[in-house]
Protein backbone atom coordinates (compact mmCIF):
# COMPACT_ATOMS: atom_id res chain seq x y z
CA UNK A 1 0.00 0.00 0.00
CA UNK A 2 3.02 2.27 -0.42
CA UNK A 3 4.31 2.09 3.15
CA UNK A 4 4.34 -1.70 3.61
CA UNK A 5 3.92 -4.99 1.78
CA UNK A 6 0.35 -6.28 2.01
CA UNK A 7 0.82 -9.51 0.00
CA UNK A 8 3.43 -11.27 -2.10
CA UNK A 9 3.03 -14.04 -4.68
CA UNK A 10 5.41 -16.00 -6.89
CA UNK A 11 5.04 -16.84 -10.60
CA UNK A 12 7.46 -18.74 -12.81
CA UNK A 13 9.00 -16.51 -15.50
CA UNK A 14 7.95 -17.58 -19.01
CA UNK A 15 8.84 -15.23 -21.87
CA UNK A 16 6.04 -16.79 -23.94
CA UNK A 17 3.34 -15.66 -21.49
CA UNK A 18 1.01 -12.97 -22.81
CA UNK A 19 -0.11 -9.89 -20.91
CA UNK A 20 -3.63 -11.35 -20.79
CA UNK A 21 -2.45 -14.62 -19.24
CA UNK A 22 -0.48 -12.77 -16.59
CA UNK A 23 -3.44 -10.48 -15.90
CA UNK A 24 -5.74 -13.48 -15.43
CA UNK A 25 -3.33 -15.01 -12.93
CA UNK A 26 -2.86 -11.72 -11.09
CA UNK A 27 -6.61 -11.07 -10.95
CA UNK A 28 -7.19 -14.48 -9.41
CA UNK A 29 -4.52 -13.84 -6.77
CA UNK A 30 -6.00 -10.43 -5.94
CA UNK A 31 -9.44 -12.03 -5.55
CA UNK A 32 -8.16 -14.89 -3.37
CA UNK A 33 -6.48 -12.35 -1.08
CA UNK A 34 -9.58 -10.13 -1.01
CA UNK A 35 -8.03 -7.12 -2.76
CA UNK A 36 -9.62 -5.02 -5.54
CA UNK A 37 -7.86 -5.50 -8.88
CA UNK A 38 -6.51 -1.96 -8.95
CA UNK A 39 -3.13 -0.32 -8.25
CA UNK A 40 -1.75 3.21 -8.53
CA UNK A 41 1.76 2.36 -9.71
CA UNK A 42 3.79 -0.61 -10.90
CA UNK A 43 7.57 -1.03 -10.62
CA UNK A 44 9.77 -3.78 -11.99
CA UNK A 45 13.32 -5.04 -11.46
CA UNK A 46 13.76 -7.21 -14.54
CA UNK A 47 16.73 -9.43 -15.36
CA UNK A 48 14.84 -11.16 -18.21
CA UNK A 49 14.59 -8.60 -21.05
CA UNK A 50 12.44 -10.94 -23.13
CA UNK A 51 9.43 -10.38 -20.89
CA UNK A 52 9.75 -6.60 -20.44
CA UNK A 53 7.39 -5.66 -23.29
CA UNK A 54 4.73 -8.07 -21.99
CA UNK A 55 4.94 -6.50 -18.54
CA UNK A 56 4.60 -3.02 -20.07
CA UNK A 57 1.45 -4.09 -21.92
CA UNK A 58 0.06 -5.73 -18.78
CA UNK A 59 0.54 -2.50 -16.85
CA UNK A 60 -0.91 -0.27 -19.56
CA UNK A 61 -3.90 -2.44 -20.47
CA UNK A 62 -5.01 -3.58 -17.03
CA UNK A 63 -3.75 -0.98 -14.55
CA UNK A 64 -3.83 2.03 -16.91
CA UNK A 65 -0.46 3.35 -15.82
CA UNK A 66 3.13 3.21 -17.04
CA UNK A 67 5.54 0.57 -15.79
CA UNK A 68 8.52 2.03 -13.93
CA UNK A 69 11.71 0.00 -14.42
CA UNK A 70 14.48 0.00 -11.83
CA UNK A 71 17.88 -0.22 -13.55
CA UNK A 72 21.47 0.53 -12.66
CA UNK A 73 21.12 3.80 -14.56
CA UNK A 74 17.83 4.85 -12.91
CA UNK A 75 17.57 7.86 -10.62
CA UNK A 76 17.33 5.61 -7.55
CA UNK A 77 19.36 7.58 -5.03
CA UNK A 78 22.19 5.06 -4.56
CA UNK A 79 25.67 6.32 -5.40
CA UNK A 80 27.23 3.68 -7.68
CA UNK A 81 30.95 3.06 -8.19
CA UNK A 82 30.71 0.47 -11.00
CA UNK A 83 31.48 0.61 -14.72
CA UNK A 84 29.25 1.20 -16.51
CA UNK A 85 26.61 2.10 -13.92
CA UNK A 86 23.85 0.92 -16.24
CA UNK A 87 25.23 -2.63 -16.16
CA UNK A 88 24.44 -3.16 -12.47
CA UNK A 89 21.53 -5.60 -12.25
CA UNK A 90 18.19 -4.19 -11.14
CA UNK A 91 17.95 -6.78 -8.37
CA UNK A 92 21.34 -5.68 -7.05
CA UNK A 93 20.27 -2.02 -6.85
CA UNK A 94 17.05 -3.12 -5.13
CA UNK A 95 19.16 -5.03 -2.59
CA UNK A 96 21.24 -1.93 -1.95
CA UNK A 97 18.13 0.22 -1.44
CA UNK A 98 16.65 -2.34 0.93
CA UNK A 99 19.86 -2.72 2.93
CA UNK A 100 20.47 1.02 3.26
CA UNK A 101 16.95 1.43 4.63
CA UNK A 102 17.99 -0.84 7.50
CA UNK A 103 21.37 0.69 8.34
CA UNK A 104 24.39 2.55 6.98
CA UNK A 105 27.36 0.81 5.40
CA UNK A 106 29.55 -1.09 5.33
CA UNK A 107 27.15 -3.83 4.24
CA UNK A 108 27.43 -7.00 2.17
CA UNK A 109 24.23 -8.42 0.71
CA UNK A 110 24.42 -12.06 -0.41
CA UNK A 111 21.47 -12.90 -2.69
CA UNK A 112 20.97 -16.62 -3.32
CA UNK A 113 19.22 -17.16 -6.65
CA UNK A 114 19.99 -18.75 -10.02
CA UNK A 115 23.21 -16.84 -9.56
CA UNK A 116 24.46 -15.83 -6.13
CA UNK A 117 25.41 -12.17 -6.03
CA UNK A 118 27.44 -10.23 -3.49
CA UNK A 119 26.55 -6.53 -3.31
CA UNK A 120 28.99 -4.37 -1.37
CA UNK A 121 28.18 -1.00 0.18
CA UNK A 122 31.12 0.82 1.75
CA UNK A 123 31.30 2.99 4.87
CA UNK A 124 30.27 6.04 2.80
CA UNK A 125 27.09 4.25 1.61
CA UNK A 126 28.48 3.89 -1.92
CA UNK A 127 27.56 0.78 -3.90
CA UNK A 128 31.08 -0.29 -4.73
CA UNK A 129 30.61 -3.55 -6.66
CA UNK A 130 30.65 -7.16 -5.60
CA UNK A 131 30.92 -10.69 -6.94
CA UNK A 132 28.80 -13.16 -8.90
CA UNK A 133 28.96 -16.94 -8.87
CA UNK A 134 26.70 -19.76 -10.02
CA UNK A 135 23.90 -20.43 -7.55
CA UNK A 136 23.70 -23.71 -5.58
CA UNK A 137 20.93 -25.15 -7.78
CA UNK A 138 22.80 -24.12 -10.92
CA UNK A 139 25.96 -25.78 -9.63
CA UNK A 140 24.11 -28.97 -8.71
CA UNK A 141 22.31 -29.07 -12.06
CA UNK A 142 25.61 -28.73 -13.95
CA UNK A 143 27.16 -31.51 -11.87
CA UNK A 144 24.30 -33.94 -12.50
CA UNK A 145 23.95 -33.02 -16.18
CA UNK A 146 27.63 -33.43 -17.00
CA UNK A 147 28.33 -36.50 -14.88
CA UNK A 148 26.19 -39.36 -16.13
CA UNK A 149 26.19 -41.63 -13.06
CA UNK A 150 25.59 -39.01 -10.37
CA UNK A 151 22.00 -38.74 -9.08
CA UNK A 152 20.02 -35.57 -8.46
CA UNK A 153 19.58 -34.71 -4.77
CA UNK A 154 17.64 -32.30 -2.60
CA UNK A 155 19.56 -29.23 -1.49
CA UNK A 156 19.93 -29.74 2.23
CA UNK A 157 22.95 -30.05 4.46
CA UNK A 158 23.93 -33.61 5.39
CA UNK A 159 24.73 -34.64 8.94
CA UNK A 160 28.44 -35.01 8.21
CA UNK A 161 31.03 -33.87 5.69
CA UNK A 162 32.27 -37.43 5.10
CA UNK A 163 29.76 -38.95 2.71
CA UNK A 164 28.75 -42.59 3.26
CA UNK A 165 27.05 -42.99 -0.12
CA UNK A 166 26.95 -41.13 -3.43
CA UNK A 167 23.99 -38.89 -2.59
CA UNK A 168 25.51 -38.03 0.80
CA UNK A 169 28.85 -37.23 -0.87
CA UNK A 170 27.21 -34.91 -3.43
CA UNK A 171 25.25 -33.15 -0.67
CA UNK A 172 28.45 -32.63 1.30
CA UNK A 173 30.37 -31.28 -1.66
CA UNK A 174 27.63 -28.98 -2.87
CA UNK A 175 26.36 -27.65 0.48
CA UNK A 176 29.54 -27.46 2.57
CA UNK A 177 31.70 -26.58 -0.42
CA UNK A 178 29.33 -23.77 -1.38
CA UNK A 179 29.15 -22.51 2.20
CA UNK A 180 32.95 -22.43 2.24
CA UNK A 181 33.02 -20.38 -0.95
CA UNK A 182 30.54 -17.91 0.55
CA UNK A 183 32.57 -17.54 3.74
CA UNK A 184 35.79 -17.05 1.78
CA UNK A 185 34.31 -14.31 -0.41
CA UNK A 186 32.92 -12.57 2.67
CA UNK A 187 36.38 -12.75 4.29
CA UNK A 188 38.16 -11.33 1.25
CA UNK A 189 35.60 -8.53 0.74
CA UNK A 190 35.80 -7.64 4.45
CA UNK A 191 39.60 -7.40 4.20
CA UNK A 192 39.30 -5.06 1.22
CA UNK A 193 36.71 -2.88 2.95
CA UNK A 194 38.99 -2.47 5.95
CA UNK A 195 36.16 -2.62 8.48
CA UNK A 196 33.66 -5.28 9.49
CA UNK A 197 30.43 -5.08 7.46
CA UNK A 198 26.94 -6.24 8.31
CA UNK A 199 26.32 -9.31 6.12
CA UNK A 200 22.70 -9.87 5.09
CA UNK A 201 21.47 -12.89 3.13
CA UNK A 202 18.36 -12.90 0.97
CA UNK A 203 16.88 -15.04 -1.81
CA UNK A 204 15.21 -18.43 -1.83
CA UNK A 205 18.13 -20.45 -0.42
CA UNK A 206 19.41 -17.69 1.83
CA UNK A 207 17.87 -19.15 4.97
CA UNK A 208 19.63 -22.51 4.51
CA UNK A 209 23.03 -20.92 3.93
CA UNK A 210 22.63 -18.42 6.76
CA UNK A 211 22.69 -21.45 9.07
CA UNK A 212 25.73 -22.93 7.29
CA UNK A 213 27.83 -19.77 6.89
CA UNK A 214 29.48 -18.23 9.94
CA UNK A 215 30.08 -15.03 7.98
CA UNK A 216 26.38 -14.22 7.47
CA UNK A 217 24.76 -12.13 10.21
CA UNK A 218 21.09 -12.13 9.23
CA UNK A 219 18.54 -13.42 6.72
CA UNK A 220 15.96 -11.03 5.22
CA UNK A 221 13.70 -12.71 2.62
CA UNK A 222 11.99 -9.40 1.76
CA UNK A 223 15.11 -7.32 1.17
CA UNK A 224 14.89 -7.10 -2.64
CA UNK A 225 11.15 -6.41 -2.57
CA UNK A 226 11.63 -3.77 0.12
CA UNK A 227 14.16 -2.05 -2.13
CA UNK A 228 11.61 -2.07 -4.94
CA UNK A 229 8.97 -0.60 -2.63
CA UNK A 230 11.34 2.21 -1.69
CA UNK A 231 12.06 2.89 -5.37
CA UNK A 232 8.31 2.99 -6.09
CA UNK A 233 7.79 5.72 -3.50
CA UNK A 234 10.56 7.94 -4.88
CA UNK A 235 9.49 10.94 -6.95
Model-level pTM?
Answer: 0.88
Q: Is residue 90 part of a domain?
A: yes
* Structure confidence at residue 235 (pLDDT): 66
Q: Are residues 114 and 205 in the same domain?
A: yes
Q: Are residues 24 and 49 in the same domain?
A: yes
In this predicted model, what pLDDT tens digit does every residue of 79-120 receive, in sequence order?
A: 999 999 889 999 999 999 999 999 999 999 999 988 999 999
Provide the number of structural domains found in the chain.
Answer: 2
Strand partners, 116: 112, 133
Q: Are residues 164 and 188 in the same domain?
A: yes
Q: Is residue 131 part of a domain?
A: yes
Q: Are residues 83 and 63 in the same domain?
A: no
Distance CA 149, CA 228 (A): 43
**78-92, 114-128, 214-228: which has the minimum mean pLDDT?**
78-92
Q: Are residues 41 and 142 in the same domain?
A: no
In this predicted model, what pLDDT tens digit does every residue of 36-72 receive, in sequence order?
A: 999 989 999 988 889 999 999 999 999 999 999 998 8
Q: Is residue 7 part of a domain?
A: no
Q: Tell whether the model's pLDDT for residue 233 goes beyond 80.
A: yes
Residues forming the active site = 91
Q: Are residues 173 and 125 in the same domain?
A: yes
Q: Are residues 146 and 65 in the same domain?
A: no
Return the HEC string of 44-97: ECCCCHHHHHHHHHHHHHHHCCCEEECCCCCCCCCEECCCCHHHCCHHHHHHHH
Q: Is residue 154 part of a domain?
A: yes
* Structure confidence at residue 67 (pLDDT): 93
Q: Tell whether the model's pLDDT for residue 200 goes beyond 70.
A: yes
Q: Are residues 43 and 143 in the same domain?
A: no
Q: Are residues 195 and 146 in the same domain?
A: yes
Please state the rounded mean pLDDT for residues 211-226.
96
DSSP 155: S
Do residues 116 and 130 lie in contact, with contact meaning Cβ atoms separated by under 8 Å? no
The whole domain housing 199 covers 79-233
Grouping H, G, I as helix, E, B as strand and the rest as coil, residue 134 is strand
Q: Are residues 55 and 115 in the same domain?
A: no
Q: Are residues 54 and 161 in the same domain?
A: no
Residues near 106 by Cβ (< 8 Å), separated by ≥ 6? Answer: 120, 121, 122, 123, 193, 195, 196, 197, 198
Q: Are residues 64 and 89 in the same domain?
A: no
* Structure confidence at residue 51 (pLDDT): 93
Average pLDDT, the chain: 93
Q: Is residue 218 part of a domain?
A: yes
Amino acid sequence: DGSRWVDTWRHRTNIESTEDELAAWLKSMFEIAGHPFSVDSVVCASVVPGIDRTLKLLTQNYFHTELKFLTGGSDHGVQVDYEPKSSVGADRIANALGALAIQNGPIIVVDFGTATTFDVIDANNVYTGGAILAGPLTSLSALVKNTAKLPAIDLKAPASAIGKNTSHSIASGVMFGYAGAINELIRRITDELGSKPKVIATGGLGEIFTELCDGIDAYNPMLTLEGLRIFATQK
